[in-house]
Structure 1
Amino acid sequence: MEIGNEQPRHHFVLVHGMNHGAWCWYKVVTALRRAGHRATALDMAGCGVHPARVDEVAGFEEYSRPLLDALAALPPGERAVLVAHSHGGYSVALAVERFPEKVAAAVFVTASMPAVGRAMAATSDELLAYVGPDHFMDSEELEQRNPKIEGKPFIFGPKFMAQRVYNLSPPEDLTLGLSLIRPANSFTTNNSKETVMRDENLLTAKRYGSASRVFVTVEDDRALPVGFQRRMTAQSPDVQVEGMAAGGADHMAMLSRPEELAELLVRIAGGI
């Protein structure tokens, strides 16, 4: 199916999830650009080809700085469609709160979506309680080399990626992912230094809550179960819910069903 024939053209800014980078959006970026839209995939600090090491990224705001800077640099009057995947939902929520006037819509593709008036880390806490301690299989916590940063870096394990993250994706994309993932800190540890993720007053109804927000459910996601996806949308009843057709899409929907996702993003943007 051809996408993007409608006007106007849109600027999509895409944000990856834990351990990943801008590279994971390569199929969707290609589809959006082919359709005549602008598409910018970003590396959060210490991810993808970003030059920082994980032990140089001191907090969640610093981790999200590439997205915050990209929005700050938009020309006056330009508004972007932010697209979050997985852990990238927290960065997008922070960006919407800081720059609501520069956001046409925030789309959460099977992503962590915090609710207004609650600390962002509360969503992470609830997910861990929902899936249980064995959910992440062979994923590992690594040693923290910077004593000024509380919490340990984390990296997905090969079995977890194959069985719960890329289970319906082409095998070459799993190979790509295993080659390119980097350790990252979730910044959800309950400590006094991480003020952004634990701030119950950060996400306000006036700014984050007033933005056009859309959640895209993925029924067959084994990493972020659809039951938890629905729990997040129930906590934010003002959020529009869209879904990808059952069958064929895994947690990495941008790799397993890229054309369908690109079409959906264009349709969402066209309805703003």
Structure 2
Amino acid sequence: MEFMTSFPADEKVVVVGHSLGGLLISKAMETFPEKISVAVFLSAIMPGPNINTLNVIIPHLDNRITYDNGPTNPPTTVILGPKFLAANVYHLSSIKDLALATTLVRPFYLYPLEDVAKEIVLSREKYGSVRRVFIVVAENKGLKKDFQQLLIEKNPPDEVEEIEGSDHMTMMSNPQQLFTTLLGIANKYT
């Protein structure tokens, strides 16, 4: 948000959100619609005025969940385990990428859904004025194709692209096709 605030008013950017990053670019679209030429949701959560997509369940497998506010309250953080990463996030990536990812895993905070819903309120006038492209990643086990299709159906973007042969981490498992797709979108919408 600091970058978007400091960005010159007479120029526009292409914003790309991957996975939960879709929530972040949605907030930017609502706050700075005049500064965004197109928003790209790369197999990402794509909320909108017509759909609430905050109820995403992270399968457990070997993920570690903490309950800092006590076991009777909602979980506060999750750390993705190596088995979960191998089976659901990096299953088409190289073994080197998976090994690197397992060393870089950090806990991420699970904000209460009501807090997220208060922070990310989207309108047709602002969020709805920004052109959107959704990139479907069919082999993504983190956000399955049927869930991606539901997001598209409930909140239709201006365009849908698809990247084949990629897992959740498209930038690792199929970087060339991702680069080509993003470049094509940027050229089309800027």
Q: TM-score, normalised by structure 1?
A: 0.64
Structure 1 90/205 Cα, relative in aligned 2: closer, same or farther at 3 Å? same
1:104 alignment partner, SS class: strand
Q: How does 1:170-185 map to 2 (within 5 A)?
A: 170-185=94-109
**Structure 2 unmatched ranges of 5 or more:** none
Q: Is 1:73 matched up with 2:6?
A: yes
CA contact (8 A) 2:50 2:155 kept: no
Pick the aligned partner of 1:231 from 150, 160, 185: 150
The yes-or-no answer on 1:206 pairing with 2:125 is yes
Structure 1 residue ranges without an equivalent (≥5): 1-67
Tell me if structure 2 keeps the 8 A contact 1:233–1:239. Answer: no
Match of 1:258 among 163, 175, 184: 175
C-alpha displacement at 1:77, in angstroms? Answer: 1.3
Supply the distance in 2 between the matched residues of 1:77 and 1:181 (Cα, whole angstroms). 38
> Which residue number corresponds to residue 23 of structure 2?
90
- What is the RMSD of the two structures over their aligned residues, measured on CA atoms? 1.9
Other-structure match for 2:53:
123
Choose the corresponding residue for 2:160, options 216, 233, 241: 241
**Whole-Å Cα distance in 1 between the matches of residues 109 and 120 of structure 2?**
22
1:207-260 CA-to-partner distances (Å, cap 9, x unmatched) read 11110100000111111100000000001124311111x3x2000001000011
Task: Give the whole-Å Cα distance in 1 for the aligned partners of 2:138 and 2:159.
Answer: 16
The 3-state SS of whatever aligns with 2:134 is: strand
For these two proteins, the number of residue pairs brought into alignment is 185
Q: Is the alpha carbon distance of 1:169 and 1:74 closer, same or farther for their aligned partners in structure 2, counting shifts above 3 Å?
A: same
Say whether 1:166 aligns with 2:166. Answer: no
Give the letter for the 1:179 counterpart.
Answer: T
- DSSP-derived class of the 2:14 partner: strand
Partner Cα distance (2:158, 2:63) in 1 = 32
